[in-house]
Chain A
Amino acid sequence: MRTRTREKYQSANKLAHSKATALLRYVALVAALLFSLAPVYWMLTISLKTEVEQFASPPPWFVFTPTLEHYYDAFVARGFGDYLLTSAIVAVASTACALIIGTLAAYALARFELPWRLNRRLSLWILSTRMFPAIVTAVPLFLMMRDLRLLNTRASLIIVYTGFNLPFVVWMMRGFFADLPRDLEEAALVDGDSRLGALVRVVLPLVTPGLAATAVFCLIVSWNEFLFALVLTQTDAAMTLPVGIAGRVTQYEIKWGVMSAAASVAIIPILVFALSVQKYLVRGLSMGAVKG
């Protein structure tokens, strides 16, 4: 219906005009695609090229002899396998913690009527904690973790990422709960279920898609996070993949192949995740402010 009216609107314009727009549209589309993807593609080729071909001039965009030596070098000969494991453990553990704690809070904010307008006030306060620039809390968190003797442990990152993801989980889940009609829970309560029972048996199954999307966003954020990981972990025991890669970048002699191989592996889970939450992407990236 909407498209048809829009087409009608367009047909009112000059035909030549709309043809030019159509052409412009496709040119813009192709340019944007090339601009977005070419740099990432270039990194992939560097990770697969021998050192001679990495430095070849003119740069070989398409024709080169692929090799996996840099992947072997990074993940078998050097410590990137460990960094990968740390990144995975930290991301999964912190996501699980944030989801459990955050979903309960979100349900309370969405479904109970709290005194002193606490629903709104607490929600806004929780959101505001997410707005702190990371560096502001990184300095005191470093000192706190030092006092607790948790520097260079995975536990420190799991704790910090849980806190970092929590406001996001609360806001996203609050939105998903609010989208759900109340009748279903009321029916469950009529059937003699408790509030907790209604949440677990009736509400949670219905918000599973939202819960899954929220979990994927938390995994992405934890997987990508750099500043806290840089500040809190400096040894191989607890270094995440981004910190490992960054450590190689700032050394004097840069192993471009190793670095590209590690970076290419780091984006694989992200690509899978991002494509799986496409539908919720705008909503997730705007903390639920835009329901696109």
Chain B
Amino acid sequence: MQKSRRFFSALNKRELLLPALFLAPALAVLLALSIYPLIYSITISLQQETVAGITWGLGNFARLFSDNFFLTALGHTFIYAISALVCEFLLGLGLALLLNNQIRGRGVFRASLLIPMMLPSVVVGVVWRLMLNPNFGSINGTLKQIGINTESLTWTASPKLAMLSVIAVDVWQWTPFVFLVLLAGLQAIPQEPYEAALIDGSSRWQTFWHVTLPLLKPSILIVLLLRTMDLLRVFDQIFILTEGGPGFATETISLYIYRTAFRFFDFGYAAAMSFVLLALTNVISAIYIRLIQAEPN
């Protein structure tokens, strides 16, 4: 009797001390490492170093609009994100639809696909520098072997092909992730709608368009959200592959912020630009999250 009363009181009473103690360390760490840095960043973005000393104002933000490098880097970021997202989505969806059946060797296939996406991004950069090197890279070497003139195919060293190359590398690394999420989504779809579609005599295409796609929509939105966020802040592979070059051809916003802060030591302007990136990712993720919440479950 005694025990059972204690049991009820323990579960029904709103306990506050214990959860507060459990949550406190995590909240303290996040405040110190996420919120405080953001506030710090705001203060430095409002400061400008001039001959007369440090002045406060919106100068760094005003500079954004007349800085062609910034606008170009922003444009590159969009080109990169949209192209990679479309390719990864279409390829990942195609693969998921093709392989959404019992096939021999699926375990091996899954395990092998994990490799690119789990690699350190620096290693991905190294791998593709070795592949794309115009002189001894295996791509040009193999193309030459089958009789293709590779003189103009300088990949990351060519202003025209550099962007295409870095996008291809992202597609190589992240298509498997899109595939795995969409495959998980496909396998969670119940059979009943398919049976109904079969009875109604709907064609394959109709079934795909009216049954599969709507039921897969939550998974699609989640994977697009996660990929978009990663693509907008891309840094590592491009840093290794091209360092934003040749010239400015593959400079994305993260790379430009890095250069501004750690090569030119203009922390105020770098902070101002980073808020543009933050606002951009926030707006886009808010749109996705709204779409996800509009889904029935």
Contacts and interface: CB of A to CB of B under 8 A. Distances in A.
Interface of A: 1-3, 5-6, 8-9, 12-13, 21, 24-26, 28-29, 32-33, 35-37, 39-40, 42-43, 46, 54-59, 61, 101-102, 104-105, 107-109, 112-115, 122, 126, 129, 131-144, 159-160, 162-164, 166-167, 170, 186, 189-192, 195-196, 220, 223-224, 226-227, 230-231, 241-243, 245-246, 249-250, 256, 259-260, 263, 266-267, 270-271, 273-275, 278, 281-282, 285-287, 289-292
A9 to B, nearest CB: 5
B183 A133 contact: no
A259 B126 contact: yes
B26 A104 contact: yes
B167 interface: no
Contact of B226 (A43, A164, A286): A286
Contact of A275 (B114, B116, B191, B233): B114
B142 interface: yes
A246 B240 contact: yes
29 contacts: A8-B198, A9-B194, A29-B109, A36-B115, A54-B136, A58-B141, A104-B22, A104-B25, A108-B22, A109-B23, A112-B22, A114-B19, A115-B16, A122-B27, A133-B278, A133-B281, A134-B233, A135-B233, A140-B36, A140-B38, A140-B40, A140-B44, A166-B30, A189-B7, A190-B4, A242-B121, A267-B120, A274-B115, A285-B180
A134 B120 contact: no
Interface string B262-285: 100001001100110110011001
Interface in B9-51: 10-11, 14-16, 18-20, 22-23, 25-27, 29-30, 32-38, 40-41, 44
Interface residues of B, number: 109
B212 to A, nearest CB: 12
Interface of B is mostly: helix
Contact of A142 (B23, B30, B98, B261): B261
Contacts of A1: 191
Given A134-B233, A163-B34, A281 B138 contact: no
A42 B278 contact: no
A13 B204 contact: yes
Interface in B109-148: 109-123, 125-131, 135-138, 141-142, 144-145
B119 A189 contact: no
The 4 A-B residue pairs whose C-beta atoms are closest, nearest first, are: A292-B184, A163-B33, A133-B233, A105-B26
A131 B172 contact: no
Interface of A is mostly: helix
A263 B125 CA distance: 10
Contacts of B136: 54-57, 59
Nearest to A196: B18
A273 B249 CA distance: 36
Nearest to B133: A256
Contacts of B290: none
Contacts of B26: 101-102, 104-105, 126, 166, 170
In this complex, the member of A59, A113, A135, A144 whose beta carbon has the largest number of chain B beta carbons within 10 angstroms is A135
